[in-house]
Each structure stands twice: as structure tokens, then as C-alpha cells.
Amino acid sequence: MTIQAFESPPSTGARTPKSNPMIPVNEPLLNEQDMAYVAECVRTGWVSSAGRFIDEFERGWAAYCGRRYGITVSNGTTALQLAISCLGFKPGDEVIMPTFTIISCALAVIYNGGVPVVVDCDPRTWCMDVTEIERKITPRTRAIMPVHIYGHPVDMDPVMDLAEKHGLAIIEDAAEVHGAEYLSGRNTNHSAWRRCGSFGTLSCFSFYANKLITTGEGGMVLTDDAILAEKGRSLRNLCFQPNRRFYHEELGFNFRLTNLQAALGLAQVERMDEIVSRKRWIGKEYTRRLKGIKGLQIPVEESWARNVYWMYGVVLSEESGMDAPAFALRLKQRGIETRPFFLGLHEQPVFHQKGLFLGERHPVAEHIARQGLYLPSGLALTPEQISQVCQGVHEVLT
Ligand SMILES: Cc1ncc(COP(=O)(O)O)c(C=O)c1O
């Protein structure tokens, strides 16, 4: 079933303490079932990285995304690091990624001895500009890392075609798009909706508290490749030998998730349709109330995409006479918390110090980094809070 079938308004209220006068940018929505699963871990003593929930969460999430194997890890950053480690990089191997993303994407490559290479983003979806990728391919390129941004999928068909043509791996970063869908093969007779996370040689997720599914901190790598899955499991757990513990032939990591965290994750996988439905309702409600404000760009949903509006981003045009920090301040004065957009990787001082991206310009990412922010978007947001936020936006901009 596709996600459109489940759109409905939120049915339960936020739990923000009355003492908090701000509408928070994110508030998770957890329930009795979450508590029951976590309590089971505490009651039975299975609180560390073994136990039934690890296995069930891995299987449940992999199945939801249409993949064969899931490998839970400690967070989304370590998911990316593990995925790249599975590919066995040589020093200087390159990965093409968007500049408009979190630093984790570049760190994962650098920690594996590789080099991040960046492209600008699409001005409508804010995802990587797929038309720029081919120009960046060199003999050192090993992988492309599409990063789905703020709930909207990357245009994956061109990425898949390029990867196939040039023999590259795909490390798909689906941290922000749990449950989002992409119409693959739209120019063929075999088009089909596919979930984000189903495209990568290895696909990565974060389950941080602001994600659609949260385990507090947590992450997962998905793949259909049995060899990569086995390698990932071994690397995640210090590369212990299965038949001889404390004997190591490779350098591994401790990236393990706990059974407690997996319990929380599994309970949410079981109500994923409801979670996606709620997020889409929040996104569409914002769009209904904010569309048409002069100088305000709001999220799109391309015809080939089903957006889950992980965070409802907005970008001010210069004609608004305001940049994002000024807008954020005016909203804060009205009790509305926001977050700035990413600053592009190519603008990060830490990378300049390492000689990366020197002199590079990516105008779309530079524009949205200065003019963009996201509004309160958590699952616990109520219709009343959405009204308040939209009223605040109208007051500031009109
Ligand atoms: C696109 C993307 N990738 C990776 C991560 C890293 O995830 P984590 O914070 O769990 O390490 C995030 C975090 O929000 C993200 O937005």
C-alpha cells in the first residue's frame, strides 16, 4: 500500500510542559507500547546488545524498506562510517555527495581514508543536483552518496544509472526520510513506487530523537548483499571471530545498539503507517496555510516523490528583506523555535583547514544556508500549535 492512503490529522495531543512557553522544533511522540517493550528489556535483564529486539528491529525495518538485511548501529553517523568501511576503501578513493548535508557524510568518508567530493543542490527539493554528478566522476570515484533532504527523496533514477554506467557503489543516506517513496523508472514501462532506503548498495538511517522513528540515539545499515551484511555485522562488533572470541584479523568498531533501544524502535516500526500519515498531515497543513506568502519558499512534492516532511523547511527570498537568523529571532519572540538549515560542506572551516573545497562555490546551497530554516515539525505537534506557528510566520512576513 502506498503512503497516500494513510493521510489523516493528528489524533493525540502534545506533551510539552505548560512551563515551556516555546513551541519546540521537535517533540517525539512515544506511547504505552514503546514503554511495554522497553520495560520487557529491564524486566528480563536483556539491556545490552543481545536480545530479541535487536533481531526483530533489524528484520522489521529491513522488511518495511524492502531490503534483505538490517544491521543496527549506535547512530546515523556510525551507520555511514560502517557502510563505507564495508566497501574497503583505498586511500584517496572519492565519494560524490551533496554539499548541502550534515557533516557526518563527509566524516564517514574521511575516517575511511577517502575524499568527499561535493555537488550543489536542486533549488526546489534542496536534494543533490543530480545533473552535476557525472562531471565530478574521476578514476578515483568509488561511490555516490545521495542524501534525501528534510523528507523529500533525491531523484534516484539518474543516480542509479550513473552508478551502473561507471561501476560505482551507492551509499544512500536515508536518515531524514523514513517511509518516503520515490517513483522509480518513471520514463519506462516499469515504473514503481519504492521506499527510500531501498536504493543503496548500502543504505543508512538515523534514529535520533527528531527522526520519524527514534531509539533515542541509533542507526541502521540496510543491504541486499549477504557478504556486505556479514562484513558489517563483524565490523560493528570489534571483528570478533565467530568461533574464537578475542581473536582479531581486522580492525573493527564498537558501533552496537542496545536491546533497550531496539525495543523502542520495533514498537514504532509496528505503527509506521500511522507515523508517516501524521507527518504528511503536518506537512500538508503547513503548506495549505503558508502557500502564497510573498518571498517565502515552502517544500515541494515532486510528481515522482512522496515527501514525509521530516522537517518543514522554508527559504526566504531576498525580497523579503530578511535573512534566516533575523526571521528566526522574530519567530522566537512569538514563542516559535526553529533551526537553521545546513551550512554547506564546502563552507566548513574545518575542511578548509584540511585543504578541502578551497575556492569552491555552490550558489544554491549558499543561498538556502543563509535564507533557510525549519519550523516546528515533531510528531507531537498539535493542530493548535501549527496554527500558532503559521500565524507567527504571517505576522512576520506580511
Ligand atoms: C542526512 C543525515 N545523515 C546523517 C545524520 C547523522 O545521524 P546521527 O545524528 O544519528 O548521527 C543526520 C542527522 O540528523 C542526517 O540528517
Ligand 1 atom with the shortest distance to the CA of 101? 1
User: Which of 128, 148, 176, 206 has most ligand 1 atoms within 8 Å of CB, for mutation?
Assistant: 206
- Alpha carbon of 352 to ligand 1 centroid (Å): 22
- Alpha carbon of 109 to ligand 1 centroid (Å): 14
List the residue whose alpha carbon is closest to atom 2 of ligand 1: 175
Q: Which residues does ligand 1 sit against, CB inside 6 Å? A: 75-77, 101-102, 104, 147, 173, 175-176, 206, 208, 219
In the chain, % of residues over pLDDT 90:
92
Residue 345: pLDDT band (50, 70, 90) is: very high
- Alpha carbon of 205 to ligand 1 centroid (Å): 8
Distance of CA 397 to the CA centre of its chain: 29
Residue 5 has pLDDT above 60, yes or no: no
- The pTM of this model reads 0.96
- Alpha carbon of 76 to ligand 1 centroid (Å): 5
Which CA distances in Å does 33 have to 79, 271, 302?
26, 10, 35
Ligand 1 atom with the shortest distance to the CA of 206? 10
List the residue whose alpha carbon is closest to atom 9 of ligand 1: 76
CA separation for the pair 54, 254 (Å, rounded): 15
User: Which of 26, 154, 176, 217 has most ligand 1 atoms within 8 Å of CB, for mutation?
Assistant: 176
Per-residue pLDDT tens over the stretch 107-121: 999 999 999 999 999
User: Which of 84, 203, 208 has most ligand 1 atoms within 8 Å of CB, for mutation?
Assistant: 208
CB distance 170 to 201 below 8 Å: yes
List the residue whose alpha carbon is closest to atom 7 of ligand 1: 76
- Alpha carbon of 246 to ligand 1 centroid (Å): 32
Residue 207: pLDDT band (50, 70, 90) is: very high
pLDDT of residue 13: 46
Ligand 1 atom with the shortest distance to the CA of 148? 1
List the residue whose alpha carbon is closest to atom 15 of ligand 1: 175
Which CA distances in Å does 243 have to 72, 239, 247?
22, 12, 9
Residue 18: pLDDT band (50, 70, 90) is: low
pLDDT of residue 8: 53
CB distance 320 to 295 below 8 Å: yes
Per-residue pLDDT tens over the stretch 271-301: 999 999 999 999 999 999 999 999 999 999 9
Residue 265 has pLDDT above 80, yes or no: yes
Strands across the sheet with 296-297, in order?
296-297, 312-316, 372-375, 339-340
